Amino acid sequence: MDTVTGVKKLSPRAVIGVFAGLRVAVGIGVGLSLFPAPVGELMGQDQSETLMTGYFAVRETVLGLGGFFTALAGSPDAIRTWAALGALTDAGDLATSLKEFRNGGERGVLVQALLAVAGLVAESRAFSRSLGRTA
């Protein structure tokens, strides 16, 4: 079985679980929410950028934990809701990344945009697959 076929066969519950784990485990969540100032200093951020990084980290952690617990024991309606929330969040991240790139942002913004596209596609697919069936 190739990777694409394997991904297509993931249940909506599995998609939510995978993205929940990614949101927390990548370090965007817990690490930056607990220690935004040292990370911001290393990245050359000013105080307002560091504060925004901390806010983003908290958002990712909360979405990740909510998605994780929903994937473990959530109803089909809850799975659908978290898939929609994840897709909505990733759509916003994609729009923000593309705007930043258009305004002269660094190439790293394109990586963020690609990650947002991956989340948007997978979570939108999980949402549509969960309509009318059990997760």
pLDDT for 80-126, tens place per residue?
999 999 999 999 989 988 888 888 777 677 888 888 899 899 999 98
Q: Read off the pTM.
A: 0.72
pLDDT for 2-22, tens place per residue?
544 555 678 999 999 998 888
Neighbours of 12 (CB within 10 A): 25
Residue 1 lies in a domain: no
Sign of CA dihedral 53, 32, 30, 102: positive
Residue 2 lies in a domain: no
DSSP 15-66: HHHHHHHHHHHTSTTHHHHH-HHHHHHHTT--HHHHHHHHHHHHHHHHHHHH
Q: How far apart, in whole angstroms, are the C-alpha atoms of residue 52 and residue 58?
A: 10
pLDDT for 20-71, tens place per residue?
888 887 666 656 556 655 655 655 656 666 666 677 778 888 888 899 999 9
Count: domains in the chain: 1
Provide the domain limits for residue 84: 10-129
- Rg of the chain on CA atoms, in Å: 16
Residue 5 lies in a domain: no
Closest CA to 54 of 37, 71, 67: 37
Residue 103 lies in a domain: yes
135: confidence class by pLDDT, cuts 50, 70, 90? very low
